[in-house]
A and B are shown apart, each in its own frame.
Chain A
Amino acid sequence: MTSNETWDALRRFTEARIGLGRSGSAMPTGEVLKFSMAHAKARDAVLTAIDWVPVEAGLAALGLKSIRIESAVADRDSYLRRPDLGRRLSPASRERLAAHAGGKPDLLIIVGDGLSSKAVAANAVPTIAALLPHVARNGWSLGPILLASQARVALGDEAGEFMGARCVAMLIGERPGLSSPDSLGAYLTFAPKVGRKDAERNCISNIRSGGLSHEEAAFKKAWLLKEALRRGLTGVDLKDESNFALEQQPPPAAITAV
């Protein structure tokens, strides 16, 4: 087997840019240009606004009601510079939610655009669909799905507190990588309230085609939620040991077609 054949064989297991070869010490021309194109696409993805209409339609098809909310951020540029405002609800959103507050659901799911609208478009509805059987099996009550624009993870603290939720799950677009502009993160926070720290959350990241599947993400999320509700906490004191409960290891990452 030649070097190139070996690297091709190894590329079945990772999207990392392995076995690129070199021009002297430097990267070959083709690889430099490929990298530039990937960066250009990621830059464009950060700045593209989310279209909620297909997400709402997908949720409606699952029989789920959704409500749009916004953070206190006005536009994309201030979103990037003012994370503090991205963690707070706009006054109009609080008014909109007031009509639905007080149900005290076990789980409040929020879908936030975060840094990748593409991640939300591709992965939010399938992840929620995969979670629904776990919700039904465990008899958890579910609040309306909140669709949050210009959202940071901690926006879920204020929204969850306002809605009286026992636990909040924020599904949010992660900062786009060159090979993965569409990666969704899922943050679980028990007893959400303004001022919760990051160490008080559990995160499942890289939910996307070629990363963690929607089914496995839902399985992990449900495991964490069950433990969170049982033990009354999330964060560093709640270790993800869900694999121990799995009979089978997850399948290796799928190969993304070029």
Chain B
Amino acid sequence: MFVSYWAGTAYRFNDLKELMAKATPRRSGDVLAGVAAGSAEENVAAKMALADLPLKRFLNEALVPYETDDVTRLIMDRHDAAAFAPVSHMTVGEFRDWLLSDEASSEALTRLAPGLVPEMAAAVSKIMRNQDLVLAARKCRVVTRFRDTIGLEGRMSVRVQPNHPTDDKRGIAASTIDGLMYGCGDAVIGINPASDNVGAITDLIVMLDEIIRRFEIPTQSCILTHVTTTIEAVRRGAPVDLVFQSIGGTQGVNDSFGVTLAMLKEGREAALSLKRGTVGDNVMYFETGQGSALSADAHHGVDQQTLEARAYAVAREFKPLLVNTVVGFIGPEYLYDGKEIIRAGLEDHFCGKVLGVPMGCDICYTNHAEADQDDMDVLLMMLGAAGVNFIMGIPGADDIMLNYQSTSFHDQLYLREVLGLKRAPEFEAWLQKVGLADDRGRLRPEQASHPLLEHGRRIAA
């Protein structure tokens, strides 16, 4: 039982997960799950009670049972008590104050990450304002490598997402060329395939590999298909760079994706066996998003934001190159409008970073959500300021395969211009070498004779 008092009124919360859920800024998914605070006042009272809670409490009380959930076991068994020591005496409220202080330097935060469990990150985020989430995340540095270096200070990478509704290879190549010519693609060239056919997947892997090799691009490819399909592609000899999987914060949601921790380990080992990275061996690409556990009926009465943070504990176990919260994709029953999507994007990015995960964000919305491009501009700007590792780049922001709107090639140019963000250093050097950008990283005017456009003409011929 948790009680908080304000002006003579007592507010009671039965257990830790009720306290966490009711302290969460309002969103439709928690209302749908029946765990949200009943009033604005109850929401703030829960925040007050949560602020007084010792961080240690989260090591002694699991929100999802240890015995029946392998994500909880992963979190508890991997906890690094020595790393936790510097903040082990703090309450959640004191932890917020510390995170925002000069004492919480980039180095201190890096050392702390293995000492935090996701529930601590989620708890403190619930009592942080949007600006706090930006400021604290901005100090966290999570750097990963495969063929280039992602996550360095003052830099932001972009995934080229050249999806096509029927996996037409010429259509995918056209969107890829377009993205590269806007200076995108240093995070990954990553396709969401329409098919889960191993033969079709292998064809796409080979096609991207040919583009990367032909133009000597310091980047990596990924086909976002089920981990077992990628493992099968490796077995068939496909040139796989990164292994993809959607993951969630409970064993049940991972079950619903048809994935186990053992499968993720097998997938990672399959990619590592190919030794295709040149500057590092981060070979996993994960996607997550608030609401997936409720959608799979595997939420255990825990709020969606806390469960999302738990997914990052799954991610960090496998040393990923990229972790992407696809924040607005899931729809209005979980995040109703632009305000809820913006808040969730900032929470996810902060929680991932403070836990040591290389967070990017698919700044996005669907056509059945109460949101539009202006809302995305706000989240884009705030995540740019927060030091997001990568965002998506999609022709004209319109994904014609997944039917939603994300960020465009133009959006990343805008952010670079306003905030002075650079690309991954290896990729920045490549853009200069092939004449697409000048020595300050500014795009040059499009040249009809550029080899990438020549390649486009060969494809079209």
Contacts and interface: CB of A to CB of B under 8 A. Distances in A.
The 10 tightest CB contacts between A and B, nearest first, are A17-B396, A177-B403, A14-B171, A199-B258, A236-B258, A9-B460, A25-B413, A10-B174, A13-B171, A42-B367
A240 interface: yes
Given A14-B175, A199-B257, A177 B448 contact: no
Interface stretch (B63-71, B85-93, B189-197, B425-433): B189-197
Interface string B352-381: 000000000000001110001100000000
A12 interface: yes
A180 B403 contact: yes
Given A10-B174, A25-B417, A243 B460 contact: no
A115 B368 contact: yes
Interface of A: 1-3, 6-7, 9-22, 24-27, 31, 35-36, 38-39, 42-43, 45-46, 80-84, 115, 174-180, 183, 195, 197-199, 205-206, 210-212, 235-236, 239-244, 250, 252-253
A211 B166 contact: yes
Interface stretch (B13-21, B215-223, B330-338, B384-392): B330-338
Contacts of A12: 460
B318 interface: no
A25 B373 contact: no
Contacts of B31: 81
A22 B410 contact: yes
Contact of B404 (A11, A16, A177, A212): A177
Contacts of A22: 410, 413
Interface string B382-424: 0000000000001111111111110010100110110000000
B228 A253 contact: no
Contacts of A26: 410, 413-414
Given A20-B396, A39-B405, 13 more contacts: A13-B171, A16-B163, A80-B332, A81-B32, A81-B333, A177-B404, A180-B400, A197-B255, A206-B166, A210-B165, A239-B198, A240-B196, A241-B197
B194 A177 contact: no
Interface in B142-166: 162-166
Nearest to B228: A236
Given A179-B398, A180-B403, A13 B448 contact: no
18 contacts: A12-B460, A13-B170, A13-B460, A14-B168, A16-B395, A27-B396, A46-B368, A175-B404, A178-B405, A180-B165, A180-B400, A197-B256, A198-B296, A199-B255, A205-B194, A212-B166, A240-B196, A241-B198
Contacts of A46: 367-368
A17 B182 CA distance: 13
B431 to A, nearest CB: 15
A70 to B, nearest CB: 18
B453 interface: yes
Nearest to B172: A14
Interface string B437-454: 000000000111000010
B333 A25 contact: no
Contact of A35 (B194, B336, B396): B396
Contact of A14 (B174, B258, B297, B414): B174
B28 interface: yes
B367 A43 contact: yes
Given A14-B168, A81-B332, A242-B197, A179 B453 contact: no
Contact of B459 (A3, A10, A18, A177): A10
B158 to A, nearest CB: 13
Given A6-B457, A18-B178, A115-B368, A235 B171 contact: no
A25 B410 contact: yes
B170 A239 contact: no
Contacts of A9: 456-457, 460
B280 interface: no
A81 B460 contact: no
Contacts of B396: 16-18, 20, 27, 31, 35
Contacts of A242: 197
B196 A13 contact: no
Nearest to A24: B417
A81 B170 contact: no
A91 B31 CA distance: 25
Given A35-B396, A81-B336, A241-B199, A176 B448 contact: no
A75 to B, nearest CB: 14
A211 to B, nearest CB: 4
B255 A38 contact: no
Contacts of A241: 197-199
A177 B398 contact: yes
Q: Which of A45, A195, A199, A244 has the most CB of B within 10 A?
A: A199
Interface centre among B163, B168, B172, by most chain A C-beta atoms within 10 angstroms, is B168
B226 interface: yes
Contact of B333 (A80, A210, A244): A80
Nearest to A47: B368
Contacts of B398: 16-17, 35, 38, 177-179
A28 to B, nearest CB: 9
A115 B367 CA distance: 9
Contacts of B408: 17, 27
A193 B453 CA distance: 52
Given A6-B453, A180-B400, A239-B229, A16 B197 contact: no
B251 to A, nearest CB: 13
